[in-house]
Amino acid sequence: MKTKLLPFNYMVIFYFIAFASHGQTNKISFSVDASVVQSTFDEPITIGISGNIEPLTWQSITQLSDADDDGIFQGEVEFESGSDLDTLEFKFRLNGFEWEVGDNRKVHLASSENVSATFRYQALPENPFARFIGSWTLKNDDWKSGNQAEENVVKWYNHFSSCKQLHTVGSLLWTVDAGSLRGNILWVYNFQTKEMVQSSSYTPTVTSLGKGKVDKEGNIELKVHFDGNMDAYRLYTYTWLSDDEYQLHARYFENDQPTGFFYQGNFVRADQ
Tens-place pLDDT, residues 163-217? 999 988 999 999 999 999 999 999 999 999 999 999 999 998 999 999 999 999 9
- Nearest by Cα to 201 from 184, 180, 182, 225: 184
Structural fold of domain 130-269? Lipocalin (2.40.128)
Q: Write out pLDDT tens, residues 87-120.
A: 999 999 999 989 999 999 999 888 777 999 999 9
Each domain of the chain, given as residue ranges in start order, spans 8-118, 130-269
pLDDT confidence of 227, banded at 50, 70, 90?
very high
Distance CA 212, CA 198 (A): 8
Integer-rounded Cα Rg, in Å, for the chain is 32
Sign of the alpha-carbon torsion through 48, 50, 56, 58: positive
Out of 1.25.40.20, 3.40.630.10, 2.60.40.10, 1.10.1740.10, select the CATH number for domain 8-118.
2.60.40.10
Q: Could you tell me the maximum CA-CA distance found in the chain, to the nearest angstrom?
A: 120
For residue 24, pLDDT beyond 90: no
164 CB-near residues (< 8 Å, 6+ apart): 133, 172, 173
Is the whole-model pTM more than 0.75?
no
